[in-house]
């Protein structure tokens, strides 16, 4: 069971997505968790409890470019 996670974490889910990967990026947290498939970009919203049951582990964070262009 996954206890700690944050926005932009990459998590491995128990069942693979139809596109073949089981890595997802967390894009929103709260009562519902919004995740985006790393491979095909499909977005899914899960109830927090369902997400916690289905997630196996956090494997990293998405690299974000916070630099401002001048």
Mean pLDDT by runs of 10 across the 70 residues of the chain is: 88 93 95 95 95 93 62
Identify the pLDDT of residue 66: 56
Q: Which residues of 35-65 are buried (b: 16+ CB within 10 A; e: fewer)?
A: bbbbeeeeeeebeeeebeebbeebeeeeeee
Residues in the chain: 70
- The 8-class DSSP code of residue 7 comes to T
Is 0.85 surpassed by the pTM of this model?
no
Strand partners, 24: 11, 37
């Amino acid at each position: 069971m996954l206890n700690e996670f944050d926005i932009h974490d990459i998590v491995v889910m128990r069942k693979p997505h139809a596109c073949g990967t089981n890595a997802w990026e967390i894009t929103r947290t709260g009562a519902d968790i919004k995740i985006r498939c790393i491979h095909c970009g499909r977005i899914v919203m899960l109830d927090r409890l369902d997400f916690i049951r289905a997630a196996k582990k956090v494997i990293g964070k998405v690299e974000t470019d916070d630099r401002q262009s001048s």
